[in-house]
Amino acid sequence: MHGAQLTIDPAFAIGPADRRLFGSFVEHMGRCVYGGVYEPGHATADPLGLRRDVLDLTRELGVSVVRYPGGNFVSGYRWEDGVGPVGDRPRRLDLAWKTIETNAFGLNEFMTWADQAGVETMMAVNLGTRGVQEACDLLEYTNHPGGTQLSDLRRKHGVEDPYGVKLWCLGNELDGPWQVGHKTADEYGRLAAETARAMKLIDPSISLVACGSSNSRMPTFASWEATVLEHTYEHVDYISAHTYYDPSDGDRASILASAIDMDGFINDVVATADHVAAKLRQKRKLKISFDEWNVWYESRLKADLDRRGWVEAPALIEDDFTAVDAVVVGDLLITLLRHADRVGVACQAQLANVIAPIRTRNGGPAWRQSIFHPFALTARYARGTVLRTEPVSPSYETRRYGDVPVLDTVALHDEESGELVVFAVNRSEEDLPLDLDLRGLPGLRGVEHLTLAAGDDPEAINTEAEPDRVTPRALPTPTSDGGRCSVRLPAVSWNVLRFGTRP
């Protein structure tokens, strides 16, 4: 294969890498909560039942913000069921995932977990079966200092100081007919605007996310965003985007190019939001909260739901992720970073067990799935300013997306430390020589080249028995000559190339 070229210059800046781009998602679905982050009686559990092994892995993953409690689950959720003495909490039917919700883990348990994990909370309110008052009640409970019924109830429950949650989702996927409380764009837009106005009367410091389309394949895509934003633009700070990529059909060439679709999705939502801004004479540029994304073998979900009755915390979509899936996840992270000027929040769905980077066994260990590694390393090294890159690359043909470059890249420059990091994906089945021109950043030396390569064993997965089968490995440190550097990217690989100014 012919090689690729990449020129990096700090003059071509996109914007700062917001730490909120490295978010995750904890939903009351399957074993994400029960048996995932929470398992009383587990050998590692603390007195509240929080699994310390999962907390340790969450911190290692580098998660910055966690969306809670859903997801589809939130559209039927009664937040007050999950506060107060655990023995007094009701058991409910969860219509979203056809399970029994015990409410043993609720709002205050989650906030304690978030504090121990060192993550910011992104709270979702129920605009499916509930509305303005219930959203305001939840905000009063969490954020008001005291002296009112609900803030004093929080204090009675042992939480003296307000949580100060700053990031709120106005419902979830209400464009989808599968959603409890599904609405038209006008119905949802008006409700979201009314809720936003009321919530900001209670706490003007909060940031709000309006529901965008559930995915770009929805028949109402773009028209939904346009209508919703005409109602809500002046009241919200973000419009959400959700997407998943399913490798089930075995079309490896296309799944490796999934970031092409995510890139187009982001561009379309930005264009729609900017059109509404122009129409409403709004100068402020709205940002995207890409608060659900991942690889997901979605075709397996129906069988998971249909083969059982109403039970507690069944195993749902506990996908085993391959080495190829990890490369795809790394490429999706590259895309999110490349849009750092307009994507302000992103949450990989979900954190534990449910299409997750962390897997556990009830009563047993926790381990890192293959997709854990690109997320953790990107969260660790993506610091400073995102730089625009325009690689010159060979291309290959895909069934879903046509002709696609084999190379995808993004670069970040941290002025404080002087470090440059390049994230690069080689989608090709062959090794790819890459020439880098770094003359715009003189004095850089190679520090490290890490790769997660799927070429030799694309279907490899990490399991309880083999938890480290798919892990990144070090390649020879890049060397530069006069500001030029040549490296080789392994076939079907995600790579981290680090450069610094110190010897």
Q: Which two tokens stand for residue 418?
A: 């002087």
Rounding to the nearest 10 degrees, give the CA dihedral for residues 369, 374, 379, 381: 140
Q: Are 35 and 124 in a shared domain?
A: yes
What's the CA gap between 64 and 335, in Å, rounded?
18
pTM of the predicted model as reported, rounded to 2 decimal places: 0.97
Whichever domain contains 432, its CATH number is: 2.60.40.1180
pLDDT at residue 103, as a whole number: 98
* pLDDT band (50, 70, 90) for residue 503: low
Q: Which range of residues forms the domain containing residue 410?
A: 4-10+386-500
Whose tokens are 């969450």? That residue is 58
User: Which conformational region is residue 113 in: left (phi greater than 0), alpha (psi within -120 to 50 degrees), or beta?
Assistant: alpha
Does 306 have pLDDT greater than 90?
no
pLDDT of residue 1: 61
Percent of the chain with pLDDT over 90: 95
Same domain, yes or no, for 289 and 421? no
Section 342-350 average pLDDT: 98
pLDDT at res. 272: 98
Last residue of a domain, one of 351, 382, 413: 382
Whether residues 296 and 428 fall in one domain:
no
The answer on 394 and 363 residing in a single domain is no
Distance (Å, whole) CA 386 – CA 382: 8
Statement to judge: residues 317 and 445 lie in one domain: no
Using omega within 30 degrees of 0 as the cis cutoff, is the peptide bond preceding 282 cis? no
Pick the last residue of a domain from 382, 402, 437: 382
- At 425-458, the pLDDT tens digits run 999 999 999 999 999 999 999 999 999 999 889 9
In tens, the pLDDT along 390-406 reads 999 999 999 999 999 99
Instruction: Summarize pLDDT for 453-485 with one digit per residue, the tens.
Output: 998 899 999 999 999 999 999 999 999 888 999
Residue 303 pLDDT more than 90? no
Mean pLDDT score, 216-229: 97
Q: Considering the candidates 140, 173, 225, 419, report the single residue annotated as catalytic.
A: 173
Same domain, residue pair 155 and 59: yes
Residue 243, pLDDT > 70, answer yes
CA 332 to chain centre: 10
C-alpha to C-alpha distance for 386 and 380, rounded to whole angstroms: 14
State whether 371 and 405 are in the same domain.
no
Q: What value does the mean pLDDT of the chain take? A: 96
Q: Which of 39, 80, 140, 292 is catalytic?
A: 292
Based on the domain organization, do 456 and 327 belong to the same domain? no
Indicate if 390 belongs to the active site. no
- Give the domain-ending residue among 326, 361, 382: 382
Q: Is 173 a catalytic residue?
A: yes
Q: What is the pLDDT of residue 421?
A: 98
The reply to whether 318 and 440 lie within a common domain is no
Query: 210: domain CATH number?
Result: 3.20.20.80
Residues 446, 311, single domain; the answer is no
Enumerate the H helices of 368-428 as residue ranges. 372-381
pLDDT given at position 390: 94
What pLDDT is stored for residue 459 in this prediction? 96
What sign does the CA torsion over 379, 382, 387, 389 have?
Answer: negative
Same domain, 260 and 191: yes
> CB under 8 Å, gap of 24 or more: what pairs does 52-56 form?
53/360, 53/365, 53/366, 54/352, 54/358, 54/360, 54/366, 55/113, 55/116, 55/117
How do beta strands 167-170 and 207-210 pair? parallel
Count up the domains in the chain and report the number.
2
Q: Say if residue 287 is in the same domain as residue 415.
A: no
Q: Who's near 238: CB < 8 A, 6+ residues apart?
A: 207, 208, 209, 210, 286, 287, 288, 289, 344, 345
**Is the pLDDT confidence value at 282 over 80?**
yes
Q: Please check the confidence at residue 502 and state whether its pLDDT lies above 80.
A: no
* pLDDT at residue 172, as a whole number: 98
How much is the average pLDDT of 43-70?
98
